[in-house]
């Protein structure tokens, strides 16, 4: 079975802390994505990556950075957490696109609360 | 910005009835996908329909796509309690997959 694993299901952090959200996939997928999901706003794309050491900004990259040192691992970093970053964070991966987008495989999500 | 918008936002039906959800989008697409999300979990891919296809079936799911109207519909036939979930359409915009806000489906016993 294909698997996308997010390191923490629930996290509670304090304002100003540096937060790392880790995501690992075992499908040898080139593409990886980070979304956040908020009530009434749906899923919004934060960052994505098509290859190792490569990253692209999504629709809401402000306040976030990412790291992709290995193909299977894509990390989301909150340099200085703020309360408005309290959210559900979803990682996903997919095979390369050839003009016809493939399906995304999602992790179970990481619910972050910033106090 | 949102590419796809689902309608209705919420839907409650009796078990055994059919459920229909709609998705409208703004710009041309290569394909459209539907996903399901159980409460507090990740999303699960249901079905993908390409822009040159008009209808696709998978088990109790039927998806239609009308590119002239920029809309799609997801029909779940003979609904079950386990179908209670949120359903999202997703479209490709340039090289990104963009999701709508979802339809919350509740199946009543």
Show the beta-strand stretches assigned E in chain B: 4-7, 10-14, 19-25, 31-37, 43-50, 55-58, 61-66, 71-76, 85-93, 96-99, 103-108
Pairwise CB contact (< 8 Å): A100 & B98: no
Among A1, A10, A24, A43, pick the best mutation site for testing chain B contact (most B Cβ within 10 A): A43
pLDDT band for position B30 (50/70/90)?
confident
- Looking at the partner chain, which of B43, B97, B101 has a beta carbon nearest the beta carbon of A101? B97
CA–centroid distance for A46 within its chain: 7
Q: Is A105 helix (H, G, I), strand (E, B) or coil?
A: strand
Nearest CA in chain B to A103: B45
CA–centroid distance for A48 within its chain: 8
Among B30, B86, B99, pick the best mutation site for testing chain A contact (most A Cβ within 10 A): B99
Q: Which residues contact B4 (CB under 8 A, 6 or more apart)?
A: B23, B24, B25, B32, B88, B89, B90, B91, B98, B99, B100
Instruction: Tell me how crowded residue A115 is: count the other CB atoms within 10 A of its CB.
Output: 10
**Looking at residue B1, what is its pLDDT?**
47
**Looking at residue B79, what is its pLDDT?**
97
> For all residues of chain B together, what is the average pLDDT?
92
Minimal CA–CA distance to B7: which of B31, B25, B24, B29?
A: B24
Residue B32 is encoded by which pair of tokens?
A: 């459209």
Q: Each residue of B34-64: pLDDT tens digit? A: 999 999 899 999 999 999 999 999 999 999 9
Q: What is the pLDDT along chain A (115 residues), one digit of tens a residue?
A: 669 999 999 999 999 999 999 999 999 999 999 999 998 888 999 999 988 989 999 999 999 999 999 999 999 999 999 999 999 999 999 887 655 557 899 999 999 999 9
Residues in chain A with CB shorter than 8 Å from the CB of B40 are: 109, 111
Go through chain A and tell me how many residues it has.
115
Helices (H), chain A: none
Q: Which residues contact B91 (CB under 8 A, 6 or more apart)?
A: B3, B4, B25, B29, B31, B32, B33, B97, B98
């Amino acid at each position: 079975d294909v698997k996308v694993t997010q390191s923490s299901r629930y996290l509670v952090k304090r304002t100003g802390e540096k937060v790392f959200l880790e995501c690992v996939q075992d499908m040898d997928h080139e593409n990886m994505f980070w979304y956040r999901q908020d009530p009434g706003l749906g899923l919004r794309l934060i960052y994505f990556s098509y290859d190792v050491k490569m990253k692209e900004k999504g629709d809401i990259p402000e306040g976030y950075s990412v790291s992709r040192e290995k193909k299977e691992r894509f990390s989301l970093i909150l340099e200085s957490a703020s309360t408005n970053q309290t959210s559900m964070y979803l990682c996903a991966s997919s095979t390369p696109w050839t003009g016809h987008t493939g399906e995304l495989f999602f992790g179970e999500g990481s619910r972050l609360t910033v106090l | 910005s949102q590419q796809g918008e689902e309608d209705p936002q919420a839907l409650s039906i009796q078990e055994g009835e059919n459920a229909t959800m709609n998705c409208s989008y703004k710009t041309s697409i290569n394909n459209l996908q539907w996903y399901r999300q159980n409460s507090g979990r990740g999303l699960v891919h249901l079905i993908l329909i390409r822009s040159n296809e008009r209808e696709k079936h998978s088990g109790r799911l039927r998806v239609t796509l009308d590119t002239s109207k920029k809309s799609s519909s997801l029909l779940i036939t003979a609904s079950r309690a386990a179908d209670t979930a949120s359903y999202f359409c997703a479209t490709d915009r340039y090289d990104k997959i963009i999701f709508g806000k979802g339809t919350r489906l509740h199946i009543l016993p």
